[in-house]
Structure 1
């Protein structure tokens, strides 16, 4: 079924959207399963925009999603598959009924060659609602008696030569067949008119199926065409076994697997003759190395070869075509750290936007992401330990750090926010040590993206010697700047990306080998006038396979560890449930929670109901634990922007909703449950005095606070078990394009404290 979603009538789309506008089995779940095809993957900001349609009186997230699927030429067949995958029986039955009422041509008329005085039969068959009407045309001329699925021309004369087409209709709906060309030839003496001139069999194959090399997930298309009189019929065979579902001149199998590899042949026949097509061999990767052919190769002298052949056998692998290889991850996890508010060093602006941007992009590629802001030494160590627990054999692990840093003797060091003024390696985290620990987990791909300076630290003369690395050929380092150079960010008052992420975000979701993608980022930076000569990406890699960040996840052989990782990751993303508070005066207040990062949360209060004799009221939050950080000047604000939340900016509720926002950060330091007070201030219509009511609220340990990152970690640990009742992931809109000036580096401070702050007044030209 090749019809697009766009072929559905508007009333059918509206009814289908009504069925999908629910939270348990609706448009979100459908969008998730449809994302198995990269063409239909949607960003977090797009999903947020869909959900915000409910704020409109006639808005519908499902209708918006269906419109987007129609724009992307999504087929009805794929939509039916998605509905079946989420087990939405009502929508599945309705769409199946709609589809069954559409016209689908199952047998097309075939071009034919006939003798003068002979007979030609053209056939067009279609499926759909009962009572289909057929009408044949020769060119633009309607054939009066051509109102059946078969058009018989007998006897054939020269006026019958030309192109024929059939129109299949039902009510206002109609569909045309493909054109069929009828050619006429004079009869030769002694040759019967019922077969072709010059053809012994009376049936000739004009298009043969071709051998192909595919990868799993590709679409297989084989075609065999013939001219015959009467018209030819087709039967396909796979490895000598008939394929009953394919009875036409072509075979189209989307999303092939290795089960479809082998030999295909087509039997072409009519009531008089039968012909077999040539064999087409279909190769589908990935191909196991153990299945490959190994051939010994030796170019050395015979005596040297005989002495060393047992120690160093020289073998050559006959590898399949590169397009036949496809790599998979057993899971994909990422740890993103952005340090800005340093206690003894220059403050940074861009990490908050950089971590947020990269978080949304990685989630589009099915990464489990933990995003953290402003971590001290202990918290960074604990976060890395938790990150390592998420890794396992075949997992893709990605670590991104934005903040101050330095590089000594080839080792890179990430600086925590509590590092002293003259810090050394003992106050920082060595990236190469983390890599060694990652290799112990037998990861499939290790990617490090370091958005920091790489100037030498004059205070640190200790030569750190990490453990020896294994030869794994799966390591990629992407440095935002070259060795002994600075990394820049943006001199701008509002939130904007740093130099590295501004270029990376345009490439990171490309379906390319990681090193190829980063090379293109470096080329983009090199073409930019303002970064040329100041900052250049450096890539270090020993990656020997074509592994991409977009590779799909296969978990069949590691379901237990995959479930454990899911649980551990979910623990770090559990938000408190929304609560409704009933005050004695009759006012009802709603409490809601949203995650900006894994350790930053926004709480909003909204007045749902108030008695008619209450003329004004507002709910404010206070008495938070001393462990978490709150800017009192920006708490209980009417907008998210006023609350200091520069990234989580969905459409705010209307003014009559009386909403207030409070931003809480540093949740990783919360040692006990989050307990705070809701203060309700209100005034009665017959009183001028303002009245105060208080209610205490317990919100448990939200987000990353449940992992207790402030506590030291043992040398080895295992994934603990948690009872997770709810998991809520934050989605947000994207950031505006930025116009800015270059500002200070992401390193230490010069002379006694590292490199000096650097500024440039050139305007930046976005790539």
Structure 2
């Protein structure tokens, strides 16, 4: 190591040649030259250092750029000044020639403050080891005793992709002479990494389906890749022995194979995730309709009772959905008693054997011996004659024995107040008879003596919101309205327990609202106006 106040002219010739060789590598001389130009005025250096001077270094044909630069610095520069320049320019190999070795020292441990890491799959482990010394330290990271390929910088950054990456990480820091001989080495303190256990993530659940008798069917689930995954299939909560793949083969499907299936996926951490249930049923022959018609009534603007906000929007949305499955739809908004009766009469006349009929009312209603639908002109103190009973609708609509009649009543089924409306209790109930030939389903948005609600959070009523999710599904109408009932009850567990939908069903066949229409020859009879 040379003294700092030694003039550059006093350097040994072989040291001068080493410096020249090092500064000519990778244009290191240019880094020094630009440093001198940029700092000449600030450090009172010679005005010789300029862009023109750099050009002279580059074009001198008598000597290399590095030799020319060193020769220019010999006039007035000392070893200490050149060392400072080389240090600022981070030309450590050149600095080592003048300065000599500096002991290796780890100045920042990767586990500063004794820190350990607990990360999840998908997180990134990032740790740093800093060291000083001359020759410049080189880094190599290890996981346990295993050398991590290509991890040779002071910072280790790795993506956590599997549980095998748990363990201890450390960095080995080494100094080498210019001819490649190991001079010194030190190991950092280790860092502990543990990986948070996470359950398997299912990306594709097995699907429900209707399967033909004697056909083969496959259920499958997909999970984010993990070599430790294990699978177990269940049918109706009973373990299926030896069914431990991500697919379940059902050969020669029979009625006894009907049921609910799911797969439970577990990983090496002992955590498991079940798939959603998939329901498999025997595929039955598709029914067909002669034609399909619907009458929808939505009442909001009541004259003597609280105004409602959703019914008109409800029936408009149901109208759109029914049209998708080939229903001819008549929609009434804010209808009076006379208008409702007239529309029901016209609707019923279009029903006949082979026809599917769909009737929906959304508005105010009440229960007194049976459900009653309230027109917008229902007086404040009303009698049953001021409303329309469910049985009156059924008597009219079932008279011609349609293949299917679905009646949806989205209304309250509470009883009238006995104190304020005593007269309605003094009425003698009218007995209305009708004949039902296993062709009827009646769905209620709530059960007897309970309220039905609107929600400010949704553009449609609660019941209609759930109905629109299922009404165009190719499923039997009983299954459809059971799903709606279940959805509303699930919603109301979070809101109120008062609205509890109900379904009455007497169907002999697996009718679906999506069943195809046989012919369009009856188009001229479908005008309900």
TM-score normalised by the chain length of structure 2: 0.44
Q: Which has the larger radius of gyration?
A: 2
Structure with greater proportional helix content: 2
